[in-house]
Amino acid sequence: MKIITLNLNGIRAASRKDFFPWLKEQNADYICLQELKAQETDLSPEMKSPYEYNGYFSFAIKKGYSGVGIYTKNEPLKVTKHLGIPELDDEGRYIELEFENLIIISIYLPSGSSGEERQAFKYKVLDKIYKVFEEKLNLGKNIIVCGDFNIAHHERDLKNFKGNKKNSGFLPDEREWLTKLLPKGNGLMFIVSFIPKKARGHIHGGVIGGRLG
């Protein structure tokens, strides 16, 4: 099984940079997307269902903001776009596809870099989504969570970790949240996607923890 996860920094902008021809070459089973920066009416037919893929999306209420999606050739048993958590639902930050033995999630956690109010918002989201992941584990299925977490876990994850110790995305409580989350048990795997500010247009990703049973 091949999974790709990436922060698009705008699906329309990515389309103009030949994202879809590149996607076809990857032949992945699942492609998780973050930061669509679009509404459903903004998507072309290619964006909705490229090649043999079907697209599933959750959009933010605010236009041109956030949004997540998943492309797959497999038909899910269930699609979940809303969790009853306004902080996630209203900003289009979560989508989940459930299959017989697998749940795959694309998530885009908020940044708190704009100030104390937004950082408090971020902590609220972290508390609530942690409980969601715990509940998912009780379903007895393999769970793969792909996303942009807006958190660097270890010092090695940042070029200038010393200069970021007091910045959102590398605060002790955020890093501890990841530390507590990762060893939750068999059946849960996290794959993170991100775009460094100085490398916009380049996609980076990697497994940050978890074990599938």
Between CA 166 and CA 185 the distance in angstroms is 30
Tell me if residue 123 is catalytic.
no
Backbone dihedral angles phi then psi of residue 164, each to the nearest 5 degrees: -115, 5
Active-site hit among 29, 108, 123, 173: 108
Residue 89 annotated as catalytic: no
Count Cα neighbours of 160 within 13 Å in the Cβ-side half-sphere.
Answer: 7
Per annotation, catalytic residue among 53, 56, 94, 148: 148
Using CA atoms, how far apart are residues 113 and 158, in angstroms rounded to an integer? 16
For residue 180, the 8-state DSSP code is H
Q: Which residues contact 166 (CB under 8 A, 6 or more apart)?
A: none
Looking at the annotation, which residues are catalytic? 108, 148
